[in-house]
Amino acid sequence: MTPPAPTAPADGSFDLAARASEADLPTGHEKTELVRSMFDAIAPRYDLVNRLMTFGLDIRWRKQSTRALGLPPGSRVLDVACGTGDFLTILESAGLVPLGMDLSWGMLEADHSGRPLAQADGSSLPLATGSVDGITCGYALRNFTELGAVFDEFGRVVRPGGRISLLEVAEPDGGPMLIGHRIWFRRVVPLIGGLVSDRAAYRYLPRSTAYLPPTTELRSMLMDAGFSSVNHRLLSGGLSQLLTATRTGTP
């Protein structure tokens, strides 16, 4: 899922503008509006397409992410970009107290969890400082317009000692699994999405990985936002990736 590497800036940092330009993707307000309208459009069949394109593994990965939080029962956990509520249901089943927020009204209207919800941008969460014990986020990091600002908000609303557990797309390191994955993700998934849901949205999906910074940059951004013990691991042979971290400070 990793797009061709762009020309790096002189300081070696991630160049979002260059990546987006090479993949013919929007940035800024244009990206925000594209993401909002796209998820509004795919909300009615979002769960169905997720199950088809991951063979149901997305539920397993969310359960792994929930366990990786390492929070005791009764902890208050915010799921950012909650979609139709899969993560919220899993969090509640684990004994946690979830609430969800999403940019898309269409996704919130399609929610099946029955948990408290709010419409919000990840970079401006309507919560008090230190008011949640943890945050989950499933496959949305590349969809935020200003990822650094989103991580700063995570650092603001998570209490000291709290935890975050973030899922994103990935790809295997090499070999036949990498070849098969690229064929599936870049060719078959857009076809399935086009037949079942919205063609344009699922053509965007493989290209949107251009927005995703490399692991080293993600670690640095999270540390700058007030997190420590940042851990990264691949799931299911590299089909998905999980980032966890702890909010610095004394609880």
Mean pLDDT across 16-43: 90
CATH superfamily of the 16-247 domain: Vaccinia Virus protein VP39 (3.40.50.150)
The more confidently predicted of residues 4 and 159 is 159
More confident residue, 49 or 66: 66
Write down the pLDDT at residue 8.
Answer: 41
pLDDT range class, residue 13, cuts 50, 70, 90 = low
The owner of tokens 């997305």 is: 58
Q: What pLDDT is recorded for position 145?
A: 95
Q: What percent of the chain has pLDDT over 70?
A: 94
CA atoms of 97 and 88, how far apart (whole Å): 9
Tens of pLDDT along 98-124?
999 999 999 999 999 999 999 999 999
Average pLDDT along the chain: 90
The listed range with the strongest mean pLDDT (19-33, 41-55, 64-78) is 64-78
Residues 221-238: tens digit of each pLDDT: 999 999 999 999 999 989
DSSP β-ladder status, 158-169 and 97-102: unpaired
Q: Which ranges constitute the DSSP H helices of the chain?
A: 16-22, 28-42, 46-54, 57-69, 86-93, 105-109, 147-157, 175-183, 189-196, 199-207, 215-224
Domains of the chain, residue spans: 16-247
Q: What is the pLDDT of residue 33?
A: 95
What value does the mean pLDDT take over residues 126-150? Answer: 97
What pTM value is reported for the model? 0.90
